[in-house]
């Protein structure tokens, strides 16, 4: 057996082929020749603008008086056939792979994609967001970075953290050439690895500042990393502790994974009272600064490649006992009491969305020796309406005490109460009134645009929070029905359909604003009156009297009681 390589025309026997790193074998019906991608006899060829690695051979089988020649060509994609963005991998495969064709006339019969040598159907590709596009010159495969079927790998360069994403897509092509009238099946498995992508770790500080220093802890989270990264130790200014030693000290170091189990973070809690935390009291400002310096020691497996990440976090706490906030409601008002416990109130108060200033305090605040009380009507713009019921409104008032230096919340308090409120009134003359209230769940609602069932019936009065309607029971689309001996009149306050669509589009909500109002009247009623008869002591009588009586007569015509001139003589 002799092998001739093209285009070099090098001739080798089987032993020479194997010494060069190739593998060759044959059966009565099959010839197998394997070659490394970068073997000496392979060469690059530009195919439709895509660099391809080609191996072309002619193998001669010699028998007595007979020589059999088998031509074989293999074409593989190169890394230059792939384009990368941070989000997508794009692989370009020529549709007409020139070294495999004997003519330009062909018909592509089948194109399939797979992962790890397994063919995928259309539903599986759609679920993974893969796409295959067949153009005039190319077959283009697009794979999202991080898609199912691939994996991330961690790397370290100059103590900086990088990741790569690797996936092995497969293409299966079947075509027929019009000249040869033979089907050719082409299958390629192409491992693709993205360039290193920087993923600098971040330390997120979730430390709550609404507590006293004795109870406060730093809550830190370092991430995010691939699953091949492990935390070995943490270096503090005065010591180095392993993860086990940190947990024994009460730092509660935990590994947390993402819901899809592809990423991890490292969470740690360090009490402010621990000696590794540096404390600095600023008496003139009435605060204490707590600072934590640390270096995370990490390693990538299985290479055991070490790297580190340093961080400095701090927190500022007031040197006072946190004030307490309590509240209650009466029939019309919220009452919020803030007790600052014999210390200067070193905070600012946020009522709803408004800071408590001098003008606000004069109107609504009452001061005590160690506390103050805010009294605010339930309908104040600083409160929000949570819900509306037939005879009550549920209103909520939010109060926050803020650190004036960093605007962090010292204390948050929310009070919600239901207030009795007549929203619908029914009158004996057949008129109704209804009050519509803007609720928290419809922040984009304009009450002036509300209407009754008849869109022509808008509010009699409205502002940015209320809409007031006054109408008769036989107008504005009011419906009537009888329930036993009761007439029930019903109407509905809502937005016209076209405005409802606009509101949902701007608020990303599909909830409709609807408020049903009703009045009921007794259709037929009989009232009874009890009385008692007994003989009278004296019969009634009229006394005779004398005098002058002036009599005047007036005549009315029409339904509106138009009075005629009394000086005219009426005709009867």
pLDDT given for residue 508 in this prediction: 52
How far apart are the C-alpha atoms of 164 and 72, rounded to whole Å?
Answer: 36
Q: Give residue-wise pLDDT tens across range 342-355.
A: 566 678 899 998 88
* 180 Cβ contact list (under 8 Å, min separation 6): 102, 103
How far apart are the C-alpha atoms of 420 and 392, rounded to whole Å?
Answer: 4
Q: What is the mean pLDDT of the chain?
A: 85
From the list 517, 380, 519, 388, the residue with the least C-alpha distance to 451 is 517
pLDDT given for residue 59 in this prediction: 75
How far apart are the C-alpha atoms of 435 and 423, rounded to whole Å?
Answer: 5
pTM given for the model:
0.53
User: At 127, is the pLDDT very low, low, confident or very high (cuts 50, 70, 90)?
Assistant: very high
| pLDDT at residue 507 tops 70 | no
Question: Dihedrals φ, ψ of 422, to 5°?
Answer: -80, 110
How far apart are the C-alpha atoms of 436 and 461, rounded to whole Å?
Answer: 11
> 123 - beta bridge partners?
none
How far apart are the C-alpha atoms of 493 and 514, rounded to whole Å?
Answer: 6
Cis bond upstream, residue 243 (ω within 30)? no
State the average pLDDT over residues 7-22: 76
Q: Give residue-wise pLDDT tens across range 33-76.
A: 888 877 888 888 899 899 999 888 777 777 777 777 777 788 88
For residues 52 and 94, is the Cβ–Cβ distance under 8 A? yes
Q: How many CB atoms lie within 10 A of CB 557?
A: 9
> 151 - beta bridge partners?
166
How far apart are the C-alpha atoms of 297 and 201, rounded to whole Å?
Answer: 12
Q: Give residue-wise pLDDT tens across range 320-337.
A: 667 889 999 999 999 999
Q: Give residue-wise pLDDT tens across range 252-268.
A: 999 999 998 889 999 99
């Amino acid at each position: 057996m002799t092998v001739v390589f093209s285009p070099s025309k090098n001739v080798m026997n089987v032993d020479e082929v194997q010494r060069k790193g190739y593998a060759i074998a044959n059966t009565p019906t099959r010839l197998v020749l394997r070659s490394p991608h970068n073997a000496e006899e392979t060469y690059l060829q530009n195919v439709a603008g895509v660099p391809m690695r080609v191996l072309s051979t002619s193998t001669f089988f010699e028998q007595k008086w007979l020589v059999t020649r088998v031509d074989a060509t293999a074409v593989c994609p190169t890394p230059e056939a792939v384009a990368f963005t941070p989000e997508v991998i794009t692989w370009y495969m020529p549709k007409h792979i020139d070294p495999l064709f004997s003519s330009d006339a062909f018909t592509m019969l089948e194109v399939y994609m797979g992962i790890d040598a397994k063919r995928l159907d259309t539903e599986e590709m759609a679920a993974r967001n893969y796409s295959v596009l067949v153009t005039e010159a190319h077959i283009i495969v697009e794979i999202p970075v991080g898609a199912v079927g691939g994996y991330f790998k961690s790397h370290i360069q100059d103590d900086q953290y990088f990741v790569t994403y690797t996936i092995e897509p497969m293409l299966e092509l079947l075509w027929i050439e019009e000249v040869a009238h033979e089907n050719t099946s082409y299958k390629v498995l192409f491992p693709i690895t993205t360039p290193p992508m920087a993923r600098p770790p971040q330390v997120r500080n979730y430390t709550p500042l609404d507590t006293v220093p004795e109870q406060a802890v730093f809550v830190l989270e370092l991430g995010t990393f691939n699953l091949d990264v492990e935390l070995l130790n943490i270096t503090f200014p005065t010591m180095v502790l392993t993860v086990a030693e940190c947990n024994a000290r009460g730092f509660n170091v935990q590994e947390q994974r993402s819901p899809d189990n592809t990423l991890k973070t490292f969470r740690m809690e360090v009490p402010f009272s621990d000696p590794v935390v540096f404390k600095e009291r600023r008496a003139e400002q009435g605060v204490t600064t707590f600072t934590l310096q640390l270096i995370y020691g990490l390693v990538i497996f299985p290479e055991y490649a070490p790297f580190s990440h340093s961080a400095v976090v701090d927190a500022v706490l007031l040197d006072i006992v946190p004030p307490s906030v309590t509240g209650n409601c009466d029939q019309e008002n919220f009452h919020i009491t803030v007790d600052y416990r014999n210390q200067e109130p070193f905070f600012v108060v946020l009522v709803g969305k408004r800071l408590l200033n001098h003008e606000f305090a004069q109107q609504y605040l009452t001061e005590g020796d160690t506390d103050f009380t805010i009294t605010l009507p339930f309908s104040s713009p600083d409160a929000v309406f949570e819900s509306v019921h037939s005879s009550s409104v549920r209103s909520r008032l939010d109060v926050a005490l803020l650190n004036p230096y960093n605007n962090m919340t010292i204390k948050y308090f929310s009070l919600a109460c239901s207030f009795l409120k007549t929203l619908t009134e029914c009158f004996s003359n057949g008129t109704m009134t209804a009050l519509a209230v803007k609720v928290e769940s419809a922040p984009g609602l304009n009450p002036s645009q509300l209407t009754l069932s008849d869109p022509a019936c808008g509010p009699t009065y409205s502002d940015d929070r209320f809409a007031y309607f006054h109408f008769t029971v036989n107008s504005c689309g009011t419906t009537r029905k009888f329930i036993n001996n009761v007439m029930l009149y019903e109407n509905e306050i809502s937005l016209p359909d076209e405005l409802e669509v606009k509101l949902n589009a701007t608020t990303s909500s599909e909830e409709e604003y609807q408020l049903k109002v009703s009045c009921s009247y007794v259709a037929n009623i009989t009232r009874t009156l009890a009385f008692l008869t007994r003989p009278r002591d004296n019969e009634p009588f009229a006394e005779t009297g004398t005098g002058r009586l002036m009599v005047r007569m007036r005549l009315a015509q029409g339904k509106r009681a138009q009075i005629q001139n009394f000086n005219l003589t009426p005709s009867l």
